Every structure is written in C-alpha cells, then in structure tokens.
Amino acid sequence: MNHPIRIVVTDDLRRSRLTVFFRLLLAIPHWIWMYLWGLAAFVVVVIAWFAALFTKRVPEGMHGFLARYLRYQIHVYAYVTLAANPYPAFDGSRAYPIDVEIAPPVDQSRLTVFFRIVLALPALFLSYVMNYLVGVVVLFAWFVCMFLGRIPEGMRNLIAFTLRYHAQTQAYCSLLTPTYPSLNVGLE
C-alpha cells in the first residue's frame, strides 16, 4: 500500500565542499522564513481542524497551503542535513532532489480528527528521536562530504528515511492525511 505522503529521491550524491562548509550559515534565511510561515501554518491547521470536524475534509485551499509549507520544510531539512545539495527555493514550488509528494484532500473520520494530536503523540516522539539520532549521522556526513565532495548513498538514504517519517508525521498532525506515519523502509 502506498502512503499518501511520499518522498522522492533524485539526488546525485555530489556535494559542493564550499556550500557544505557554510551550510548552516546559508540556511539562516530559510530558518527565519520557515518560522514565519510556520506561524501562519499553525493558524491554518487550527482553522482546518474545525473545518474537518464539521465537513470531514480539509478545504482545498488550506490543504494546498499546508502541503506547500510541508514541502518547503522538507526541502530545507534536506539541504541542512546534506541529503540534497542545491539551495532550496523559498516557496517550495520547484522540484528538489529530495521532494515530497502529497495526495489531495480526502474525507477523514471526525473522531480521529478530534483526537489527532493525542493519536499523533507516539509518532511525534519517534520522529523526534529519529531526527536527534540522525543528527549524529549528519555530523559525520559533514566530514565525509568535506573530504570526498559527495555523500555516501547509505547515509543519504538514512537521512531521507528520517525526512520521510518526519513528513508523514507532520502531514498527519496538520490534517493533510488521515493515514498514520509508516516505518516502511522503501524509498520511491
């Protein structure tokens, strides 16, 4: 069964040593923009929660806004964690070497919408732990990229796996999908 939130990897594994060295500094404008966009996304999630409680579906416009934010978030995280090399666009609209595909809105159970945050707690905890542990891999990957000018495929795939789980968790929490995050290891 395909999950409605999928990560697509088209990365070529090459990394620019110069941008790898300054990666965290280069990402500062993205962190600021992601924080501001995240505030708006939070407000939209709250409104979408009420809409989904009454109509069993997140309205198209809200779904599109939240999907673009999630896509942008994954692009930035892929850049920062060295899973991808090019500098991401600020609107999440362009294709990116680590990209997320998000299915259109579907009907959702009012009961699961009502209890979504409680239901998401185990997935949020696991996502947090995975992101923390992959930080060690990213630190090691930084040295490897500086030395080789590329990232080993296994490291990139591990980072992409955690990004996929993060994307599915965020999508579940923000009502983009009623499907719970999956630990299925296949990357598309």
Q: How far apart are CA 162 and CA 7, in angstroms?
A: 10
Write out pLDDT tens, residues 48-77.
Answer: 999 999 999 999 999 999 999 999 999 999
79 touches 72 (CB < 8 A) = no
Residue 3 has pLDDT above 50, yes or no: yes
Which string of b and e fits 55-80 if b means at least 16 CB within 10 Å?
eebbeeebbebbbbbbbbbbbbbbbb
Residue 26 has pLDDT above 50, yes or no: yes
Q: Which residues contact 63 (CB under 8 A, 6 or more apart)?
A: 48, 104, 105, 176
Residue 46 has pLDDT above 90, yes or no: yes
